[in-house]
Amino acid sequence: MSARTVVAAWALAAGAPALAAAQIVDCSGLSEPGLKILVDEISVLGAAGAGPVPALARQMRASVENALESLELQGDMPKVVRCLNRRPRDGSEFDRGLTEQLFARNALVEIWGTVEPENDGHAAFLGFLLVPARREELESGRPRGLYETVFRSGPGSNPADALREFDRSEELAAFTAVAMGLRAARVGDVGQAYALLCNGVLRLAPPGTQPAGRHAALVRHAVERAGEAMRKARSDPAYHGHLKLLSEQQAAKACEGRP
């Protein structure tokens, strides 16, 4: 089964089979205090033992962890937790019950993936669960809380080339910022919510650009939530942060007025 098949299954294409080795086991790190990002196993498809594909799996996990450790966002950064032997199938396992458990245990984002040879090159698949967004999706139908990305290297290229696009991408940082912002909004930290949501929005769609199609709904939702946080801050007599200093015109333009 190819990484493309996994993505198609997640995108609700018909008939895509599940990974035989897929499993959602508990992650012991979830018991640790504080906000956290879960990094699950990177599974190997179509190859075993030594070779470029298992090495690519190890490199992909290291790239994800390094990217997370180097993030600089508003507020205290969540802890990165490695979840051994945890292999989500295609996102469908993150139903209301599991999502509520993750939210209650302060998980913000969960990341997993697969790698495999493909057409004389290599494909690396990453799946992302934005826990607060998934919770809202299951409550109200939006925004989307599950995302997937495939990175590929061509025939004859270095397997690590499949990760170059990931290393240049703002997606992981944006997903983390939006998840942190939605969580802050839920617990009433309006200043943090506004800053983080707008941070995520501007990473996914810098000024003068439009978000990628799969990000459009998330960007709109984040802008709406940022606007709500701003209005609550301005009407709250106990809030004395920078949002109170904005003009009425500025206050009406959440995240620089992005639609």
- Please name the CATH architecture into which domain 3-168 falls: 3-Layer(aba) Sandwich (3.40)
pTM here is 0.84
Percent of the chain with pLDDT over 70: 85
Long-range Cβ contacts of 64-69 (<8 Å, 24+ apart): 64/39, 64/111, 64/113, 64/126, 64/166, 64/172, 65/39, 67/166, 67/167, 67/172, 67/173, 68/37, 68/39, 68/172, 68/176
Least confident of 59-63, 88-92, 233-237: 88-92
Domain extents for the chain?
3-168, 180-257
Ramachandran angles phi, psi of 210, nearest 5°? -110, 145
Confidence of residue 51 (pLDDT cuts 50, 70, 90): low
Partners of 23 in the beta sheet?
A: 87
